[in-house]
Chain A
Amino acid sequence: MPSSEHGEMSASPARRWSFAWKMSLRTTVLLMAFVGAALIFALILIDLGDLTIAEASLNGIEIILPLLAGMSAALLFAPDDEPILELMLSSPRPVQWVLYERLFVLAALQLGIGVIGSVIVASQPSGEPFLQHVMRWFAPTVAMIGICLWSSVWGRRTSYGVLMAVVLCAGMAIANDVLLIRFPDLWTIIFYVQPRDLPAERYLMNRLILILIGAALTGLVFYRLRDSEKMLGTGEKRG
């Protein structure tokens, strides 16, 4: 069904659609959020037990949170893995709403975990200031959500997004140590650059670029969702 028809249908009484929060919670894999939270808080507890290593490793949150947020984002929506995609596309409620809901739940869960973690870290004597700590994980998390969501929708399969999450996180860790020597300009997009390694304005620029990448790719996904034919894979090879 062409996307323009949604508008005509939404004028009918069927417009009184409701939210599907429970399904959105299931789709965002609540368990993954719990695992992420448990890992992050366990790491913080371990660090606080030994303050000599705390300074170096209180930032485990900046590795775990983007990875898990990316994996969860990859699971949000993949056309070939949605069992009732045709029904979704033909219902009065625009398909974008499904993703809005799921994305909202995902953001609330993951960002909530991150903020609580940052509050705990900031409240410690050796911890960073709250805002500085939030900047560590927020930008990579937004970037990972955008990249992994886009990979799943573009590749039509969840596995693309999940693989992207794992490879990107591992790749960024290597890039931070190895590739930056070879390609110094990569500081613009490396997730794990440290505030002490770059001038303040460059560090801020890096964070901003990452957020823009994430936002742009999320926007692209919503744009692609407007085209029902593409969503159904008409004229494309399907798995």
Chain B
Amino acid sequence: MTKMLTIARYELLMAFRRRSLVILLVLFLASIFVFADISRLTNQTSVIVLPGEGSTPARIEDLNMLPDEAIPVWMRGVDLNLWYRSGGVFTTLIAALILMGIAIVMFTNESIPLDRQYRVRELLDAMPLSRTAYLAGKVLGVWGGLLAISALTALFSAVILRAMLGPYDLRYLALLWLAFELPLILLAGGLAVLLTSWTRTRRGAVLMSLLVLPIVILLVALGIMSLSGIGVLIHPAYAFHILLSPDESSVEVVIGRIRHALPMLLGSLIASWCLAYGWQRLREGR
């Protein structure tokens, strides 16, 4: 355990010294800023199309004027302006996550290959260090760095989004970061480290990550489809953001989606671990 944590600590330190973490942080913040601006631009008219057949577009201002009986049940008691702007937060985070996924794969792939390139692996092989401790240390180190910059991005994004979109539901942002963005960021980092672990140089890792990238994007997209509806736990009205009709059943639908997707997401991580572990074992066998 101590060895694993030491490897994780040094991996985190090296990621900082190689400027990977700083660049990722800048990219994360830039993506939040750009996509928030695009969201503001496209949502200027504040028009929504309510679910149901024959619905016509309605302006939020007009809906605010209507009595409770004239609006859908799920809208009653909801601050529609806050809810609508929270939709902007939602689309911003989804768009930013795609960019973050690409950047994470590109900047975390070198973790294990660099040990081979700099001939550190020979030294490590001569030490009483298990393959599990080595791999887990590397993954934990990368996750530690990603956790740190995700926390910073979440804090800064709360301010950026407030300044660009106006007041929104802060609970919604917090929940999206904790239960949607963060798991997928960690998944992308873990997959990038494990699936590029068999390459021998940083250049090889970059080439490998071009193959890994579609897999990660696919899994992130799966995660977006399943985890992004987590907002319904705050209020069913947030089901509207994932194109579900907001009612009591939407909570069950979202939980069902998460339940279906989680084994796939966790399974991909476990399969990557087994591949990386198997490769290391094969290499030692030679």
Contacts and interface: CB of A to CB of B under 8 A. Distances in A.
A167 B207 CA distance: 16
B175 to A, nearest CB: 27
Give the secondary structure class of A's interface.
helix
A58 interface: no
Interface in B6-39: 17-20, 37-38
Chain B contact patch, size range: 20 to 34
* Residue of B38, B117, B206, B210 contacting most chain A CB atoms (<10 Å): B206
Given A162-B106, A239-B17, A157 B202 contact: yes
Contacts of A237: 17, 19
B207 A239 contact: no
Contact of B203 (A75, A167, A170, A174): A75
Contact of B206 (A158, A170, A239): A158
Nearest to B95: A174
A163 B106 contact: yes
Nearest to B35: A174
Contacts of A14: none
Interface stretch (A76-84, A184-192, A193-201): A76-84
Contact of B18 (A71, A81, A178, A239): A239
Chain A contact patch, size range: 20 to 34
B202 A166 contact: no
B109 interface: yes
A7 B216 CA distance: 49
Contacts of A81: 201-203, 206
A176 interface: no
Given A159-B206, A162-B106, A178 B41 contact: yes
A157 B108 CA distance: 13
B109 A159 contact: yes
B83 interface: no
Contact of A159 (B37, B41, B106, B201): B106
Contacts of B37: 182
Contacts of A181: 41
Interface in A59-76: 71, 75
Interface in A169-217: 170, 174, 178-179, 181-182
B267 to A, nearest CB: 26
Interface string B211-232: 0010000000000000000000
B18 A163 contact: no
B38 A158 contact: no
Interface in A4-55: 29
Contact of B99 (A78, A157, A167, A178): A167
12 contacts: A71-B210, A83-B117, A83-B201, A158-B203, A159-B110, A163-B106, A166-B102, A167-B99, A167-B103, A170-B99, A179-B38, A239-B18
